[in-house]
């Protein structure tokens, strides 16, 4: 169990552009209702021409600093998890740190582990904090996800960012991180070679032997370690590649649908990869009450999962009013056509 690690600020960012799934389906001659029903996704968020993983990360980071009332120069570490870093060689973390005004005295690192890179960063920060090596650190999950035209992923990949400031200052905790556990293996369900613009995947193989095995294994490991059961939690959040996988995983583990629903936002934004589970957590934290227990599990192809046990404090309600929330971003939407989507994502010029 962790003793000195908590969340003191968090922020989100979701682009306003929305591409309805029906636009994609109709373009390729598919039945929209069948696609929407099978995936549990109605529309997805798309970055505008001046947005990418870095700009979205900056927006989320600024919100987290504002919520936590943390001066940027107090940050001693920044981890950025993404699989769509704008540069292959040139860190996103230092660009974001510069934009946030962090200064020079901080550790910066970009992390990659498919959709769970940011939660891996949370674990790394937790170790630094628990060892009393730093007082404040920020982790960001930000992605402008890619998909090849006419690939199944094109219906679901989205964009967005979430930022969390972790600290050992207990008097400032909005949420305490009580414990975490991870489960990893070499299961190549999803990959993208260097220099290749779009990822490849193993279709249905990415379900049972990949997502479900790793998510349920990490979750069971953490529950057993802490002698807890699903009924002990007010909410649960699972990585959302679509609307069906997280629900099936939750029910398999013994959680109820009502525990999952407040964070199940994939139907309105798609899957923003490294930001997916963390944006779901942001959504839950907008409605959680003091002393609520939250169970969070991310997933990254290749493959691995990270599970966390979180507990809210009485400071959360006041702090979350300082910034725009998930609901505001979900309501701030402008519908775009499939042709504009192709232009914005550089699939056509």
Distance, CA of 74 to CA of 137 (rounded, Å): 8
In the chain, DSSP assigns E strands to: 6-13, 17-20, 43-46, 77-81, 107-111, 136-144, 159-167, 175-187, 190-191, 200-201, 235-238, 293-300, 302-312, 334-335
CB 228 within 8 A of CB 255: no
| 21-38 confidence digits (pLDDT tens) | 999 999 999 999 999 999
Flag whether pLDDT at 336 surpasses 70: yes
Distance, CA of 294 to CA of 296 (rounded, Å): 6
Counting every residue, how long is the chain?
349
pLDDT band at 346 (very low <50, low <70, confident <90, very high): confident
Q: Mean pLDDT in the chain?
A: 95
Q: Has 282 been annotated as catalytic?
A: no
- Based on the domain organization, do 221 and 277 belong to the same domain? yes
349 lies in some domain: no
For a pLDDT cut of 90, what percent of the chain falls above it? 89
Handedness of CA 66, 85, 265, 312 (dihedral sign): negative
Flag whether pLDDT at 129 surpasses 70: yes
| Of 23, 36, 59, 83, catalytic | 83
Question: Cis link prior to 87 (omega < 30° from 0)?
Answer: no
- Based on the domain organization, do 71 and 34 belong to the same domain? yes
Could you say which DSSP state residue 271 is in? B
- Based on the domain organization, do 143 and 222 belong to the same domain? no
- Based on the domain organization, do 101 and 157 belong to the same domain? yes
| 37-49 confidence digits (pLDDT tens) | 999 999 999 999 9
259 lies in some domain: yes
- Based on the domain organization, do 199 and 155 belong to the same domain? no
User: How many angstroms separate the first and last alpha carbons of the chain?
Assistant: 52
| 247-272 confidence digits (pLDDT tens) | 999 999 999 999 999 999 999 999 99
The H or E element that residue 319 is part of is: helix 316-319
- Based on the domain organization, do 290 and 326 belong to the same domain? no
3-class DSSP state for residue 15?
Answer: coil
**What integer is the mean pLDDT of 166-187?**
97
| Of 51, 85, 115, 123, catalytic | 115
**What integer is the mean pLDDT of 128-153?**
95
Q: What is the CATH number of the domain that holds 229?
A: 3.40.47.10
Strand partners, 262: none
33 lies in some domain: yes
- Based on the domain organization, do 26 and 119 belong to the same domain? yes
- Based on the domain organization, do 75 and 196 belong to the same domain? no
115 lies in some domain: yes
CB 183 within 8 A of CB 217: yes
113 lies in some domain: yes
Strand partners, 294: 235, 310
For a pLDDT cut of 70, what percent of the chain falls above it? 98
159 lies in some domain: yes
Flag whether pLDDT at 348 surpasses 60: no
Nearest residue to 55 via CA among 180, 187, 144, 176: 144
**What integer is the mean pLDDT of 166-189?**
96
| Of 43, 239, 282, 286, catalytic | 239
| Angle (deg, nearest 10), helices 245-253 and 213-225 | 40
- Based on the domain organization, do 67 and 84 belong to the same domain? yes
Q: What is the pLDDT of residue 146?
A: 87
| 192-221 confidence digits (pLDDT tens) | 888 877 777 776 656 688 999 999 999 999
Distance, CA of 78 to CA of 131 (rounded, Å): 17
Distance, CA of 276 to CA of 218 (rounded, Å): 17
- Based on the domain organization, do 148 and 205 belong to the same domain? no
Q: Has 115 been annotated as catalytic?
A: yes
Tokens of 307: 């599970």
Characterise 24 by phi-psi region: left (phi > 0), alpha (psi -120 to 50), beta (else). Answer: alpha
Of 99-113, 122-136, 197-211, 230-244, which range is least confident? 197-211
**What integer is the mean pLDDT of 76-85?**
97
Flag whether pLDDT at 349 surpasses 60: no
1 lies in some domain: no
Domain extent, residue 93, equals 6-173+318-344
Between residues 286 and 201, which one has the greater pLDDT?
286
- Based on the domain organization, do 43 and 154 belong to the same domain? yes
pLDDT band at 347 (very low <50, low <70, confident <90, very high): low
311 lies in some domain: yes
Flag whether pLDDT at 333 surpasses 80: yes
Flag whether pLDDT at 173 surpasses 60: yes
Q: What is the pLDDT of residue 198?
A: 76
Residues 6+ apart with CB under 8 A from 282: 10, 11, 12, 162, 325, 326
- Phi then psi for 317, rounded to 5 degrees? -60, -45
Between residues 123 and 188, which one has the greater pLDDT?
123
The H or E element that residue 65 is part of is: helix 53-68
Tokens of 273: 């990869």
Distance, CA of 329 to CA of 279 (rounded, Å): 11
Q: Has 335 been annotated as catalytic?
A: no
Burial zone of 33 (CB within 10 Å; 0-12 exposed, 13-18 middle, 19+ buried) = exposed
Q: What is the pLDDT of residue 321?
A: 97
Domain count, the chain: 2
- Based on the domain organization, do 148 and 187 belong to the same domain? no
Q: What is the pLDDT of residue 72?
A: 98
């Amino acid at each position: 169990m962790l003793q000195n690690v908590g969340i003191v600020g968090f922020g989100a960012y979701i682009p306003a552009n929305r591409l309805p799934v029906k636009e994609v389906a109709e373009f390729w001659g598919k039945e929209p209702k069948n696609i929407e029903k099978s995936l549990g996704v109605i529309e997805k968020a798309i970055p505008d021409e001046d947005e990418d993983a870095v700009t979205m990360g900056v927006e989320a980071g600024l919100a987290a600093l504002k919520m936590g009332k943390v001066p940027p120069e107090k940050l001693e570490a920044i981890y950025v998890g993404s699989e769509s870093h704008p540069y292959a060689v040139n860190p996103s973390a230092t660009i974001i740190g510069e934009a946030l005004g962090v200064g020079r005295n901080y550790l910066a690192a970009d992390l990659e582990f498919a959709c769970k890179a940011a939660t891996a960063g949370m674990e790394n920060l937790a170790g630094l904090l628990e060892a009393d090596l730093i007082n404040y650190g920020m982790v960001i999950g930000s992605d402008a996800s890619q998909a090849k035209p006419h690939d199944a992923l094109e219906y679901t990949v989205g964009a967005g960012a979430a930022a969390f400031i972790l600290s050992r200052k207990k008097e400032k905790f909005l949420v305490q991180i009580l414990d975490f556990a991870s489960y990893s293996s070499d299961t190549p369900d999803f990959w993208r070679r260097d220099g290749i613009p779009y990822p490849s995947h193993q279709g249905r193989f990415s379900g049972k032997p990949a997502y479900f095995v790793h998510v349920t294994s990490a979750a069971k490991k953490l529950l057993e370690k802490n002698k807890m059961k699903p009924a002990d939690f007010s909410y649960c959040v699972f990585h959302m590649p679509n609307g069906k996988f997280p629900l099936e995983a939750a029910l398999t583990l013994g959680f109820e649908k009502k525990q999952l629903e407040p964070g199940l936002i994939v139907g309105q934004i798609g899957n923003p990869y490294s930001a997916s589970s963390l944006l779901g957590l942001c959504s839950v934290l907008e409605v959680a009450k003091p002393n609520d227990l939250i169970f969070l599990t991310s997933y990254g192809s290749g493959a691995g999962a990270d599970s966390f046990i979180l507990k809210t404090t009485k400071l959360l309600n006041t702090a979350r009013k300082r910034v725009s929330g998930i609901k505001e971003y979900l309501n701030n939407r402008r519908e775009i056509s499939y042709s504009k989507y192709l232009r914005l994502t550089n699939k056509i010029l």
